[in-house]
Structure 1
Amino acid sequence: MKLQNNKYESAHRYAPEKFHIKIGKVIGFCMLCAALPAWAVTGYLRINQVGYETDVAAQAYLMTSSPVSDVSFHVINSSGDTVTSGTVGAKTGTWGSYTVYPVNFTVADSGKYSISVSGPVSTSSPVFTVDTSTNLYSQALVNTLSFYQNQRDGSNFIPSALRTAAGHLNDANATVYKTPPITNDNITAKLSPTGQKINAEGGWWDAGDYLKFVQTHSYTVALMLTGVRDFPNQMGAGSAKSNFTSEAEFGLNWLQQMWDDSTQTLYYQVGIGTDFTVNSDVSDHDLWRLPQVDDNYVPPSATGLTVAQIPYIRNRPVFVSGPAGSKISPNLAGRLAADFALCYQVFKLSNPSYANKCLLEAEHVFALANTSPGTLLTVAPYDFYPETEWRDDMELGATELYFALQAGSLPAGLPVTNASYYLTQAANWAHAYITGPNDQADTLNLYDTSGLAHFELYRAIGMAGKPTLAVTQAALLSDLSSQMSTSVSQSGDPFGSPIGWKNGDTASHVSGLSVMASEYGYLTNSSSYTTDANRWAGNLLGANAWGVSFIVGDGTTFPNCIQHQVANISGSMNGKGNVLAGAVVEGPTNTASSGSLPGMVACPANGVDIYAKFNASGAVYRDNMQSYATNEPAIDLTAASMLMFAWQIAGAPNGTP
């Protein structure tokens, strides 16, 4: 949520004090220096707060305020006994004024443990768990599912400690508008209705606000359905507590409302998050409230607003991408085709009529992709999600259509029934991506799905008997490896993170890279990449400079003050009780943000930034409800974490689609 009408904090510059000390006084003072003790070295231990797997090499990190040597460590069980010990390793680098050292250990027995160091520096870690991967990460998957359930909009919400009522029921009869002209992220003309109304109820809120975008939904649903299909015992029917099947269907249902297959029309957004220059109408980002008040919203006096200024709060607009049957931005077309083709794969046995409908939609939307685009369509305004790459999305969509068609027993009326057609298309788009302008410029996240598409296409080529195509399995592997190695080489993080923490959307990139490492390790049977996947998951879950798990509810220290309206108004802000568990926040970036609205609950209450002393290397993390840049969760930011956890538990997908 990028707040409008921000009240930005002022920067203050302090001049150093001037001292005028006589030479004799200085000499007298220095004669006492030898009698004073040396300044103590401060140390912090950074760990994967969810825990470590039994009998698997583990790594924590010691960061010290001054360089040290000959530091001993002890891993201590809940009875106070040392189970293993050793010497802290050679420094891995520096982080600001801190020096960072690895602590390598292995524990054979499950239980609760902590690490203690002694010598030139003395400190202890939080308590952590050592157990099987299933026991370590299953609750994290439960938390992720609960996050999406708490993000549900519309009448089909799920009551919880945070959610007590449905919101935005007026979306069921929403007016459709043309995409408005936007300059400098402001709408510069009155909205122009098309004369249509659609049912846009349901779906997940995008982030800490209440907007809904096909852009982020389509990415989230693709990863969720992939997990349901590939990890049925972790994310599908085989799990009693973290079965995402119904949640994926909930997301699919909203996407099917936004794609009218009968008229071949795509609607891509519900609500407005930016301001007008032509009138005083307010947007979603101008208010702080619970969702259930919007349908009949009356502005509190503290807002200074009138009912006349909120027409798009009570009755939210829907934006259409173009006339019926017109070409569709290929990033959206590719991902939607993947979503609907995955729908067919997941539901063809349990709900064949639903699956058949999905498959027909997948082919229709894929065929309408505009493969000579200018600026991609994402959301209005584009700057909220400035995506530039799309060939990866077309690769993913074509690959999932191949998997859907090759199974046989297809529904009637499909424009294409030959699976090899889509395999050829997928390979062509993979080649276009690898030889295109953005290869190795990004890793798996909302803006680049090649980290999943390459993995899927590799398996599809194997299933097809390795035919001659525009790309080979070796080329796909090489590109996956290059993406990871390029990211790691640019990171320079002494804690082993695969991405520089100042780059933005850092938390989602780390989980995406952990997924990519698991995929690559599986395809190549390489244990070194499994180690990378484990270590990078640890970076996300607390083994970082701030000692914070950037997933709410996972670990012992996580964001308390997220920029999320429901969590801020209805939830706990001390890390206990009613938190938005499973939510992945933006994470550290190059700057924090600030801005307040009436109704915000101040968090932290005292305003103290307890993590400021760990900011370095251009990276900033701030646990404050005003800082959307570091502390806002979103459905796309969270999406890769569920696959990361499923990979950590299962180690491999459940067969080939």
Structure 2
Amino acid sequence: MGRRRRLREVHLQHGVLPGRAGFRAARRPGPSAGEGGTPLSPNLAGRVAAAFALGAQARTSDVGELVTAFPHAYYPESSWEGDLELGATQLALAARELDDPRATGWARDAAKWAKTYIAGDDKSTLNLYDTSALAHADLAGLLRTGVPGAALGVRELAADLRRQLDTGAERAEKSPFRTAVDVTDFDAASKSFGFAATARLYQRVTGDPRYAAFGARQRDFTLGANAWGVSLVVGVGATFPQCPHHQAANLAGPSKVLYGAVVNGPNGADNFADLPFPAGAKECTRPDESFNGQGSRYADDPSSWPSNEPAIDFTSTALLAFSLAGTS
């Protein structure tokens, strides 16, 4: 009873009790590596060391098809220079915190891969397949402190962030909802949050707020300012997905287990042809699709995975955009 009482006191302190909204979100598990300065748990230490060792073995010429998922078409990633830029940047930042003499070398590596990415043809905007915006923003901070022999400077990084934002801004000008993403293609929510995050990153790097309104509109699109009037974040807004393509949510109700999860959103109408109803799923449908059109569709039922399946990458990009909005 003592442990239960202590748990209840903690829940009361934070305003979350079983049965109340946000209870499960507040109690999501997270790993702990111990107090600062204490030895790491050996399993975590081994895995982190293995990740660094694998990074040192990366192929950087004649790369060919990247390893993502099988079949490759499921997650067809082709951009990789930005990933190496991001990895080298984070190594340099960590090394500087620890006074590790390798920091400058890693920062130079990051600048080299940034220059390679910018000069290449395989460029996109912030989403599951392209992390260059994150890398550019952190690398810019490193370069400002001085990196002898760096292959580029802050100006080039800022210009590429502008390129990414201009890509969306030009498309948004032609959309009645000022939407930067193609609502007949996958990843509408994720890419919208990516634009919102990149607008904040650009302002952090340059101090220039010119894309602030654009970024806010892309965030608003995911929160219901769209043709369907539906928030793509479960539990947020007056209207949000009630019948997601998710086993546990189908059985228990989406707001109980998926609070904060992000679904794909509108997608190409052709992607919904002949979708089977998941075996064993509870019947659930929100039949009003009166706003579908122009080759795009959003459907709120368990079979409609092209528009209504939550995903970790969608949600993580949303968390990034929201956190940047809250701290900038």
* TM-score where L is the length of structure 1: 0.43
Distance 2:97 2:224 in 1: 43
1:461 Cα deviation from its structure 2 partner: 1.1
User: Aligned AA for 1:596?
Assistant: F
Distance 2:298 2:200 in 1: 27
- Aligned residue for 1:364? 53
Aligned partner (choices 90, 97, 105) of residue 421 of structure 1: 105
Higher helix fraction (1 or 2): 2
1:409 Cα deviation from its structure 2 partner: 5.5
Higher relative contact order (CA 8 A, sep 6+): 1
Distance 2:258 2:107 in 1: 40
- Aligned residue for 2:298? 621
Aligned partner (choices 177, 185, 202) of residue 495 of structure 1: 177
Residues 614, 423 of structure 1: alpha-carbon distance in 2 compared, 3 angstrom cutoff: same
Matched, 1:544 2:226: yes
Q: Identity across aligned pairs (percent)?
A: 36
1:370-409 → structure 2 map (5 Å cutoff): 370-372=59-61, 373-408=63-98
Residues 490, 527 of structure 1: alpha-carbon distance in 2 compared, 3 angstrom cutoff: closer
1:384 Cα deviation from its structure 2 partner: 1.4
- Aligned residue for 2:261? 583
Distance 1:400 1:603 in 2: 44
1:578 Cα deviation from its structure 2 partner: 2.5
Residues 516, 348 of structure 1: alpha-carbon distance in 2 compared, 3 angstrom cutoff: farther
**Is the CA contact (8 Å cut-off) linking 1:517 and 1:533 kept in structure 2?**
yes
1:390 Cα deviation from its structure 2 partner: 0.7
User: Aligned AA for 1:403?
Assistant: L
1:537-616 → structure 2 map (5 Å cutoff): 537-571=219-253, 578=256, 580-591=258-269, 592-593=271-272, 594-604=275-285, 609-610=287-288, 612-616=289-293
1:356 Cα deviation from its structure 2 partner: 6.4
1:581 Cα deviation from its structure 2 partner: 0.9
Residues 378, 348 of structure 1: alpha-carbon distance in 2 compared, 3 angstrom cutoff: farther
- Aligned residue for 1:349? 36
- Aligned residue for 1:634? 311
1:383 Cα deviation from its structure 2 partner: 1.7
Distance 2:104 2:117 in 1: 20
Aligned partner (choices 486, 490, 512) of residue 194 of structure 2: 512
1:362 Cα deviation from its structure 2 partner: 4.5
Measured against aligned partners, the alpha-carbon deviations of 1:407-434 in whole angstroms (never above 9, x if no partner) come to 2366xxxxxx511111111111111111
- Aligned residue for 1:526? 208
Distance 1:616 1:484 in 2: 27
Aligned partner (choices 110, 116, 122) of residue 432 of structure 1: 116
| Structure 2 segments unaligned to the other structure (5+ residues) | 1-20
Residues 359, 571 of structure 1: alpha-carbon distance in 2 compared, 3 angstrom cutoff: closer
Distance 1:445 1:638 in 2: 11
- Aligned residue for 1:477? 158
Distance 1:543 1:469 in 2: 43
- Aligned residue for 2:6? none
- Aligned residue for 2:323? 646
Measured against aligned partners, the alpha-carbon deviations of 1:541-561 in whole angstroms (never above 9, x if no partner) come to 011111111010011111111
1:571 Cα deviation from its structure 2 partner: 2.0
Higher strand fraction (1 or 2): 1
Higher mean Cα deviation, 499-508 or 593-602? 593-602
Residues 357, 406 of structure 1: alpha-carbon distance in 2 compared, 3 angstrom cutoff: farther
Measured against aligned partners, the alpha-carbon deviations of 1:493-545 in whole angstroms (never above 9, x if no partner) come to 22122222222110000011101001111222223323333222111101111
Distance 1:387 1:649 in 2: 30
For the aligned residues, what is the CA RMSD?
A: 2.6
Measured against aligned partners, the alpha-carbon deviations of 1:97-127 in whole angstroms (never above 9, x if no partner) come to xxxxxxxxxxxxxxxxxxxxxxxxxxxxxxx
Residues 595, 359 of structure 1: alpha-carbon distance in 2 compared, 3 angstrom cutoff: closer
* TM-score where L is the length of structure 2: 0.84
Distance 1:360 1:423 in 2: 20
**Is the CA contact (8 Å cut-off) linking 1:444 and 1:451 kept in structure 2?**
yes
User: Aligned AA for 2:76?
Assistant: P
Query: What is the aligned residue count?
Result: 301
Measured against aligned partners, the alpha-carbon deviations of 1:561-603 in whole angstroms (never above 9, x if no partner) come to 100011112225xxxx635111100111112532123201121
Distance 2:69 2:35 in 1: 32
- Aligned residue for 2:3? none
